Amino acid sequence: MFFRIGPSSFGGGYAMIPVIEREVVQKRKWLKQEEISDLVSVAGTAPGGVGVNSAVFIGYRKAGVAGACMAVLGITLPTFAIVYLLSVFYLYFENNHKIAAALKGIHGAIIALILLAAYKMAKTSLLDISTTVMAIAALGVLLFTSIHPIFIIAGGILFGILIVKVKELMRMKVRTVKETTQSTEQQLLFPEYYI
């Protein structure tokens, strides 16, 4: 493994990027400070967690596809092991009323986290009226029909491409990312980049 995974990697999501930065920039000197800032910015635009994406990019840069695969294993295996152990624990104690009550209480926190993630995605993804209408339509189809989500995602991609092409033909301004005025260094201070 090309960097160590400490407890903060799978317990306190805020510490993931600083741990990677310390290992890759300061200890191993694989990247320069400016490169890690660019890497985190790019990792933030790719689907998935920023920490995992950063690890994949670093692994690929150091050892190609094999390095990227090892990076994914190194960064996700501890979390997988903990979730697996918790699920085994749950099987033994699922009939315990106190454990069941505690898990029911966690449901509210999970819903809040999902809503927070949706809000953050909406802030960066809803660029104009067309993207907002598309998001509302996709949510409506998802909630009120039995169409499989993969078809909704594929339809969103196709409609997105179609909308961009129509706007280009009509010589309208096409934006595919939200315009930001913050520098990369300021963005690294935001918690969502550490999760």
Answer yes or no: are the C-beta atoms of 3 and 25 closer than 8 Å.
no
pLDDT at 181: 56
Answer yes or no: are the C-beta atoms of 99 and 90 closer than 8 Å.
yes
For the segment 181-195, the average pLDDT, to the nearest whole number, is: 47
The pLDDT tens digits for 49-76 are: 778 888 888 999 889 999 999 998 998 8
| % of the chain residues with pLDDT over 70 | 83
Identify which of 50, 71, 68, 77 has the alpha carbon closest to the alpha carbon of residue 1: 71
Residues shown for the chain: 195
The pLDDT tens digits for 4-31 are: 333 333 333 335 777 888 888 889 888 8
